């Protein structure tokens, strides 16, 4: 059996001294490096503490301002949509200011940041110019208040009760339970009739009677029906008059007043009961007729 003696590795005295010298030189280099970067580390630490302090104090101030804004809107009972818009606008603006302050502490050139933000804003504006026009229309509607949530409006884009006024779109609910979403840019540039702006509305109804009917009696019957309607305001005037002389009928019209919320129900009730009252009193309501004459050629 072959026997292999163990290997023994030993350093000479010269090699050991050289290794120790290199270690000492390395330690000196590390110390020099530490001394060199110490001022920068201290300055960085101070800057970091300043940034943390600015963020801590700034975020607390922003929360306080938002809370005060919420309380102010709660006391004034303002529109919820306007409240949300201003709250978001103030929140974003204050945090943007806080970011600028932190960037200034970091030594970033504010002019460069402003230029970059300006370029970005121009690019985004060109890409979203339609949406920005709708956004501007939403701001106009929220500030000028041509209509409010819960009011019934009529425009070329549709009609219905306003459910929500957003920053870009306005949502309407039609009487047959459909939803119309209209861009605010269009609403701000077209004519809008606000049927719910005033607490009461004038009720206009008309009915044609035959030329042989008693006009005075027809007017009296229509006025009786109007006065019997529970939703007609009794303190407001009621006017009944001859409104036109047609080809086959005399038009009897009436003006009365009701609350805006009762308008449609009141109109439907009046038209039905005027017809029933005229029938009960023998007042003829003419309708278009076609007489066909057959002539015997024999």
Q: How confident is the model at residue 208 (pLDDT cuts 50, 70, 90)?
A: very high
Average pLDDT over all residues of the chain: 80
SS3 256: strand
Which of 113, 132, 164 is the endpoint of a domain?
A: 113
Task: Say whether both 43 and 97 belong to one domain.
Answer: yes
Q: How many of the other CB atoms lie within 10 Å of CB of 179?
A: 12
State what percent of residues in the chain have pLDDT above 70: 71
Is residue 14 pLDDT above 70, yes or no?
no
> 92-106, 164-178, 204-218, 243-257: lowest mean pLDDT where?
92-106
Note whether residue 131 is domain-resident.
no
Q: Which of 194, 224, 257 is the last residue of a domain?
A: 194
Tell me the per-residue pLDDT of 48-107, one tens digit each, with 9 for 90 and over. Answer: 788 888 888 888 888 888 888 888 777 765 566 667 767 777 888 888 888 877 777 777
Residue 298 lies in a domain: no
d(CA 195, CA 259): 11
Whole-model pTM: value is: 0.56
- pLDDT value at residue 201: 94
Q: Residue 9 falls within a domain, yes or no?
A: no
Same domain, residue pair 218 and 172 = no
227 and 152 together in one domain: no
Q: What is the pLDDT of residue 9?
A: 44
More confident residue, 285 or 288: 285
Residue 23, pLDDT above cutoff 60: no
Mean pLDDT over 3-21 rounds to: 50
In this structure, the answer to whether residues 210 and 253 fall within a common structural domain is: yes
Q: What is the CATH number for 34? A: 1.10.287
Does the pLDDT of residue 127 top 60, yes or no? no
Same domain, 233 and 212: yes
Is pLDDT at 24 greater than 90 in this prediction? no
Residue 11 has pLDDT above 50, yes or no: no
Residue 156 sits in the same domain as residue 108:
no
213 and 263 housed in the same domain: yes
Tokens 């425009």 belong to which residue? 155
Domain that holds residue 272: 200-280
Domain membership flag for residue 12: no
Which is more confidently placed, 78 or 41? 41
282 strand-pairing partners: none
Helix (H), strand (E) counts: the chain: 7, 8
Q: Residues 151-180: pLDDT tens digits?
A: 899 999 899 999 888 778 899 999 899 999
The pLDDT value recorded for residue 20 is 47
Q: 265 with 229: CB under 8 angstroms? A: no
16 within some domain: no
Residue 4: per-residue pLDDT: 47
**Residues 208-213, mean pLDDT to the nearest whole number:** 93
Q: Do the domain assignments include residue 22?
A: no
Calpha distance 29→111 (Å, rounded): 41
Band (pLDDT 50/70/90 cuts) for residue 237 is: very high
Least confident stretch, 118-127, 139-148, 180-189: 118-127
pLDDT greater than 70 at residue 3: no
Which domain CATH number covers 169? 2.30.30.60
Q: Which of 270, 190, 199 is nearest to 230 (CA)?
A: 270
Could you give the CA distance from residue 55 to residue 61 in angstroms, rounded to a whole number? 10
Is residue 120 in a domain?
no
Domain count, the chain: 3
158 — alpha (psi -120 to 50), left (phi > 0) or beta? left
Q: What are 145-150's contacts with CB under 8 Å, separation 24+?
A: 145/79, 146/192, 146/194, 147/192, 147/194, 147/196, 147/197, 148/79, 148/196, 149/79, 149/80, 149/81, 150/196
104 and 149 fall within a common domain: no
pLDDT band with cut points at 50, 70 and 90 for residue 279: very high
Q: Is residue 7 part of a domain?
A: no
Looking at the structure, tell me whether residues 223 and 184 fall in a common domain: no
As a whole number of angstroms, the distance between CA 86 and CA 92 comes to: 10
C-beta of residue 62 within 8 angstroms of C-beta of residue 95: yes
What 3-state class would DSSP assign to 217? helix
């Amino acid at each position: 059996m072959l026997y292999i003696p163990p290997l023994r590795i030993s350093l000479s005295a010269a090699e050991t001294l050289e290794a120790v010298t290199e270690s000492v030189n390395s330690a000196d280099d590390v110390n020099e490096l530490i001394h060199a970067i110490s001022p920068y580390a201290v300055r960085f630490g101070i800057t970091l503490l300043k940034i943390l302090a600015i963020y801590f104090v700034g975020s607390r101030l922003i929360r306080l301002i938002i809370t005060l804004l919420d309380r102010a809107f709660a006391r004034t009972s303002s529109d919820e949509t306007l409240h949300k818009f201003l709250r978001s606008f103030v929140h974003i603006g204050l945090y943007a200011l806080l970011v600028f302050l932190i960037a200034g502490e970091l030594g970033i050139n504010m002019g460069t940041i402003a230029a970059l933000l300006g370029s970005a804003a121009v690019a985004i504006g060109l890409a979203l110019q339609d949406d920005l026009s709708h956004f501007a229309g939403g701001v106009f509607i929220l500030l000028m208040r041509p209509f409010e949530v819960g009011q019934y409006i009529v425009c070329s884009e549709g009609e219905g009760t306003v459910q929500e006024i957003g920053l870009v779109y306005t949502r309407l609910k039609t009487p047959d339970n459909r939803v119309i979403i209209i861009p605010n840019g269009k609403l701000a540039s077209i004519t809008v009739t606000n049927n719910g702006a005033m607490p009461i509305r004038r009720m206009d109804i008309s009915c044609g009677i035959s030329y042989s009917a008693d006009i005075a009696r027809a007017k009296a019957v229509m006025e009786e029906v109007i006065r019997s309607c529970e939703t007609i305001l009794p303190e407001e005037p009621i006017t009944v008059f001859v409104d036109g002389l047609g080809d086959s009928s005399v038009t009897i019209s009436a003006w009365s007043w009701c609350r805006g919320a009762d308008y449609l129900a009141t109109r439907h009730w009046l038209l039905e009961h005027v017809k029933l009252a005229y029938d009960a009193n023998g007042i003829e309501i003419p309708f278009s007729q076609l007489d066909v004459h057959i002539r015997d050629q024999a």
